[in-house]
Amino acid sequence: MIEEEVLELAAKELGVASIADKTRRNIVTGGRAAGRIAAARIRYWRVVMRGIRLFEPCGHLGKGFKSPGIFKTLERRSGLKAAILSDGVIRVGDKIAHQQGSHISHCAGWMNYDFGLHVPASSPTVKAEDLVRFAQQAEALGFYCLTLADHIVVREIFRAVPVIPSMGNIPAPVIISKR
């Protein structure tokens, strides 16, 4: 989805009447809605969506619009990617409501999963400050939970596991838990 206000401003900056049919977005929102609802759950009357990330202009845009300025014009305001969480029909004029922080447990699809990280607390080299940084980074990145194992016996052999650079140089296998 993309904001009506952005489309109007971009068209003005580019000196054209409209770019609404060139952006390859599915929904135009009014009231500066798309930016504000990023990462929140959204309800269009009957349809529930979840904001995933803000778009940047992509290569397809150039194919439908010859002006090179369109990339610069839509930089950092090229709409919101959202996952559709429930069946339904979105009609022109439907109201948008925010459901930030709420849980919609009955919806189907992969967005019904919460993502957590397993705390590598049993690693022989881990330090307290590493664990605190790991937990705070996970929280800042929006992970749902941290999981901790319950063992008093630690195996001597550790298998290589994926490393997530933004979490620091700590082995961090990602787990998925179904709500």
Partner 1 sequence: MGFLAGATKRIRFATSVMIAPYRNPIITAKMLSSLDVLSNGRVIVGLGVGWMKEEFESLQAPPFEDRARSPTSISKPLENFGQATSIFQWQVL
Output the smallest distance, CB 157 to partner 1, in A.
Answer: 14
Residues of span 126-165 touching partner 1 by CB under 8 A: 128, 131-132, 135-136, 138-139, 143-153
Q: Are 2 and 28 in contact (CB under 8 A)?
A: yes
Buried b (16+ CB within 10 A) or exposed e, 11-22: beebeeeebeeb
Binding of partner 1 by 26 (CB under 8 A): no
Output the smallest distance, CB 144 to partner 1, in A.
Answer: 6
How far is Cα 142 from Cα 135, in angstroms, rounded to an integer? Answer: 11
How far is Cα 13 from Cα 169, in angstroms, rounded to an integer? Answer: 45
Question: How many CA atoms lie within 13 Å of 126's alpha carbon, on the beta-carbon side?
Answer: 15
Output the smallest distance, CB 116 to partner 1, in A.
Answer: 7
Q: Which of 45, 116, 123, 171 binds partner 1 (CB under 8 A)?
A: 116
Query: What Rg do the C-alpha atoms of the chain give, in angstroms?
Result: 21
Q: Which is nearer to partner 1, 71 or 143 (CB)?
A: 143
Q: Which is nearer to partner 1, 72 or 113 (CB)?
A: 113
Binding of partner 1 by 176 (CB under 8 A): no
Length of the chain: 179
Q: Which is nearer to partner 1, 15 or 156 (CB)?
A: 156
Largest CA distance in the chain: 70
Output the smallest distance, CB 163 to partner 1, in A.
Answer: 20
What are the residues binding partner 1 (CB under 8 A)?
116, 118-119, 128, 131-132, 135-136, 138-139, 143-153, 175, 177
